[in-house]
Amino acid sequence: MQENLNPFAIAQAQLDEAAAVLGLDPDMHAFLREPMREFHFTIPVRMDDGRTRTFRGFRVQYNDARGPAKGGIRFHPDETIDTVRALAAWMTWKTAVCDIPLGGGKGGVICNPREMSRGELERLSRGYMRAIARYIGTTKDVPAPDVNTNPQIMAWMLDEYERIIGHQEPGVITGKPGPLGGSAGRGPATALGGIFTIREAAKLSNMSIEGATCAIQGYGNVGSHAHRLAHEVLGLRVVAVSDEFGGIYNDGGLDPAVVGEHVRVNGRVNDCPDTEPIGNSELLEANVAVLIPAAIENQITGQNADRIKATIVAELANGPTTPQADEILADKGVFIIPDFLCNAGGVTVSYFEMVQNTYQFYWDEEMVNRRLDTKMTAAFGAVAQMAAGKKVNNRIAAYLVAVARVAEAVRLRGWV
């Protein structure tokens, strides 16, 4: 049977499985299966050639029972409302599994930023903020970066928001540059949080991690930091990395400083000195101890899951593994660190950023990283304990922890 790769259908199927194990009340289940609110809008942007192009944008506030909605904004040519819904659902479970007082949301624009000038991108970013400004705020919904959006884009959006409301409100968006109230450590936070969970997974599986091999798919914000931190913090030997244009391999290990510099100059990992080319599918199936998908959804599917050789799959990307692949990997005994646990470091430090903005008192990177470690280790522990106690896989265990917390808040509010 053809696999359903619609990310929102996948997110709902995952929730359904967890709801059955949890014995979730059917009315609560029905409520948690759908986003609470979503906004669809057009963004007219004056292009450099003088014409106006109309882009489509979305913002989904999936659930805000535990706190203001929280989630990034993605700029991507293949963006769909169902991708945004799925990512917003996963944000809801992510903030809950880490036990931070936020809900889940996500945003997106159908666009190809690689074909846009800096000025066009700035006008699109400001237009996005004008479209959603009245629906967001520090007590309503707080956006952040995601694929193809970055601190500069957050800065333009923050500036536009403050122009509209007429005063400073840095906590309305996270992942900002430091001088505008960004947190120390926010750039590498998603990757570092994932690295802490790999450390915990190795401990739990009595696996020696120092010198073990690793492959990373995706070399953007998350993947490139993961490369450096896997090397620095865990002593992993990263033998393969890739981006959308292809991958590179060196059995002796890839130096993150060399690859990083090559990417800075060339915009891609291809042709980095002292490496051999490797395809994205070959990379996923490489003979490594730790596989880190850090690109986009639906990379490990029913088609390739039986060829995955890694002992640990650390999902820094959102939704890289389909439910069919999950079953195959479970049968093979692969230890999956599920996405909304593995990549929760980003939103955790975004939450720290909001706290620092509120108090106007800023922590150094060491303090941020220490607090991140505490949060990630606790979240990993809660999921591992649930998996052992209920004899379920880690993804379902993460859902059980998160859904129970969100359902409790919904019930306390009297919504269901």
- Judged by the rule CB under 6 A, the positions of this chain that interact with ligand NAD are 145-148, 190, 217-223, 242-244, 280, 294-296, 316-318, 343, 346
Is 140 a known active-site residue?
A: no
Among candidate residues 106, 203, 332, 391, the one labeled active-site is 106
Shortest spacing between CB 278 and ligand NAD, in angstroms: 11
> Cβ closer to ligand NAD: 217 or 321?
217
223 vs 338 by CB, closer to ligand NAD: 223
> Which residue's beta carbon is nearest to the bound ligand NAD?
220
Sequence-ordered list of residues with C-beta below 8 angstroms from that of 44, at least 6 positions apart, any chain: 52, 53, 54, 55, 127
C-alpha closest to that of 137 among 110, 164, 155:
164
Cα dihedral across residues 341, 358, 155, 74: positive or negative = positive
Element (H, E) at 248: strand 246-249
**Least spacing, CB of residue 73 vs ligand NAD, in Å:** 11
Of 29 and 72, which has the nearer Cβ to ligand NAD? 72
Report the C-alpha gap between 408 and 353 in whole angstroms.
26
Q: Round to whole Å and give the CA distance between 352 and 355.
A: 5
Find the helix or strand (DSSP H, E) in which 73 lies.
strand 69-76
- Choose between 127 and 194: whose C-beta lies nearer to ligand NAD: 194
The token pair at 295 is 């690109």
Residue closer to ligand NAD, measured from CB, 183 or 242: 242
Cβ proximity to ligand NAD, 334 vs 344, nearer residue: 344
Quote the least distance from Cβ 360 to ligand NAD, whole Å: 24
Closest approach, Cβ 318 to ligand NAD, in A, equals: 4
Helices (H), 23-150: 26-32, 81-97, 118-132
Least Å distance, CB 291 to ligand NAD, is 13
Place of tokens 């909304």: 340
C-beta closer to ligand NAD: residue 170 or 193: 193
If the CB atoms of residues 121 and 316 are measured against ligand NAD, the closer one turns out to be: 316
How far apart are the C-alpha atoms of 105 and 91, rounded to whole Å? Answer: 6
Which helix (H) or strand (E) is 312 found in, with range? strand 312-314
Burial bucket for residue 257 (CB in 10 Å: 0-12, 13-18, 19+): exposed
Angstrom CA distances, 124 to 110, 111, 131, 269, stand at 11, 9, 11, 28
Closest approach of Cβ 287 to ligand NAD, in Å?
Answer: 19
Alpha-carbon distance of 319 to 188, in angstroms, equals 20
Asked if residues 22 and 400 have their Cβ atoms less than 8 Å apart, the reply is: yes
142 vs 136: CA distance, rounded Å: 6
Distance CA 98, CA 383 (A): 10
Which amino acid, residue 197? T
In angstroms, rounded to a whole number, what is the distance separating the alpha carbons of residues 323 and 13?
Answer: 8
Cβ 307 to ligand NAD, closest distance in Å? Answer: 17
Closest-CA residue to 341 (of 280, 400, 299): 400
Task: Indicate which residues carry an active-site annotation.
Answer: 106
